[in-house]
Amino acid sequence: MEEVIEEVRRIIAQGGPFTEILATLRDSEAVDFKAIMVIYVLREAVGMPIVEAREIIARLDADLHPLVSAEDLDTTAERYLAPYRTRTP
């Protein structure tokens, strides 16, 4: 589980899209791929408040497939992920 959290932290820091985070979690055998685990991983990886993570999750169906286009999902998620991105001069 710790490796997955580190990978998500890296994706976020490097500016990766939320759809990449979802794919990482979906492909991981260490994570039970459910909404609550996505929220947990975001919280552990970067300290994202649960309320913000839920705003992103609200754009996914029960099986965690996007209810909107991947582009719209990534755009929405970026509003919440932006504060956790690595800033470079």
pLDDT at 86: 79
Structure tokens at 5: 């959290």
pLDDT at 63: 94
Domain boundaries, the chain: 2-83
pLDDT at 87: 60
pLDDT at 31: 86
Which pTM value belongs to this model? 0.90
CA 32 to the chain's CA centroid: 14
Q: Kindly state the average pLDDT of the residues 68-81.
A: 97
pLDDT tens, residue by residue, 52-66? 999 999 999 999 999
Give dist(CA 64, CA 34) in Å, integer.
Answer: 7
Rounded mean pLDDT of the chain? Answer: 94
Backbone angles phi, psi at 61, to 5 degrees: -80, -175
Q: Kindly state the average pLDDT of the residues 61-88.
A: 92
- Asked if the model's pLDDT at residue 88 lies above 50, the reply is no
- Assign 3-state DSSP to the chain and report helix, strand, coil percentages, each to 5: 65, 0, 35
Beta partners for residue 60, in sequence order: 66
